[in-house]
Chain A
Amino acid sequence: MGNILLEMKNITKEFPGVKALDNVNLTVEQGEIHALVGENGAGKSTLMNVLSGIYPFGTYTGDIVYKGEVCQFQKIKDSEEKGIVIIHQELALVPYMSIGENMFIGNEQLGRFGIDWDKTYAEADKYLKMVGLEESSRTLIKDISVGKQQLVEIAKALAKHAKLLILDEPTSSLNETDSKALLDMLLRFKQDGLTTIIISHKLNEVSYVADKITVIRDGSTIETLDNQTDEISEDRIIKGMVGRELTDRFPKRPGVQIGDVAMEVKNWTVYHPQYEDKKVVDNVSINIRKGEVVGIAGLMGAGRTELAMSIFGHAYGTNISGELYLNGEKVELRTIKEAIEHKVAYVTEDRKGNGLVLSNPIKINTTLANLSSICSKHVIDKDKEYQVAEEYRDKLKTKCPTVEQNVGNLSGGNQQKVLLAKWMFANPDVLILDEPTRGIDVGAKYEIYCIINDLVAAGKSVVMISSELPEVLGMSDRIYVMNEGKMVGEMSGAEASQEKIMAAILRS
Chain B
Amino acid sequence: MATINFKEAIRKYTMAIALVIVIIIFSVTTNGTILLSQNINNLLSQNAYVFVLGTGMLLCILTGGNIDLSVGSVVAFVGGIGAVLMQRGTNAFVAAIVMIIAGGLVGAWQAFWVAYVNVPPFIATLAGMYAFRGLANVVLQGYAVSISNKTFLNVFGGGADCYVPDFFGGSGLNITCMAFGIIAVLVYLFIQIRGRVSAVRKGYSVKSAGGFYAQSVIISVVILFLSYKLAGYKGIPSSLLWIVGVILLYFFITTRTKIGRYLYAVGGNEKATQLSGINTKRVYFFAYTNMGILTGLASILTVARAASAQPTYGNMYEMDAIGACFIGGASAYGGTGSVFGTIIGALLLGVINQGMSIMGVDANYQKVVKGLVLLAAVIFDVLSKREKK
Contacts and interface: CB of A to CB of B under 8 A. Distances in A.
B205 interface: yes
B268 A357 contact: yes
A233 interface: no
B272 interface: yes
Given A372-B258, A380-B256, A359 B336 contact: yes
Contacts of B205: 402, 404
B273 interface: yes
B335 A402 contact: no
Interface string A373-385: 0010011101100
A407 B205 CA distance: 18
Most buried by B among A357, A401, A404: A357
Contacts, number: 85
A354 B277 contact: no
B277 A313 contact: yes
B272 A383 contact: no
Most buried by B among A312, A355, A368, A386: A368
Nearest to B202: A383
B117 interface: no
A487 interface: no
Given A357-B265, A359-B268, A383-B199, A369 B256 contact: no
A357 B259 CA distance: 16
B11 interface: no
B84 to A, nearest CB: 37
Interface stretch (A135-143, A165-173, A336-344): A336-344
Interface in A209-244: none
Interface string A444-462: 0000000000000000000
B274 A336 contact: yes
A402 B277 contact: no
Most buried by B among A369, A387, A401: A369
Contacts of A24: none
B210 to A, nearest CB: 19
A380 B261 contact: yes
A335 B274 CA distance: 10
A92 B335 CA distance: 25
B187 interface: no
B264 A364 contact: yes
B277 A383 contact: no
Interface string B59-103: 000000000000000000000000000000000000000000000
Interface string B202-229: 1011000000000000000000000000
A371 B275 contact: no
Contacts of A364: 261, 264-265
A315 B275 contact: yes
Contacts of A422: 276
Contact of A369 (B264, B276, B336): B276
Contact of A340 (B271, B272, B277, B279): B277
Interface string A303-319: 00000000011010000
A354 B271 contact: yes
A366 to B, nearest CB: 11
B165 to A, nearest CB: 34
B2 A356 contact: no
Interface string A328-353: 00000001110110000010100001
B264 A360 contact: yes
A358 interface: yes
Interface in B95-128: none
B192 interface: no
A410 to B, nearest CB: 14
Contacts of A354: 269, 271-272, 275
B277 A357 contact: no
B265 A380 contact: no
Interface of B: 2, 198-199, 202, 204-205, 256-259, 261, 264-265, 267-269, 271-279, 331, 335-336
Given A348-B275, A379-B256, 17 more contacts: A335-B277, A335-B279, A336-B274, A340-B277, A346-B275, A357-B272, A359-B331, A360-B265, A360-B268, A364-B265, A368-B276, A369-B277, A371-B258, A375-B258, A380-B261, A382-B256, A404-B205
6 contacts: A315-B274, A354-B269, A359-B335, A368-B276, A375-B258, A422-B276
Interface of A: 312-313, 315, 335-337, 339-340, 346, 348, 353-360, 364, 368-369, 371-372, 375, 378-380, 382-383, 386-387, 401-402, 404, 422
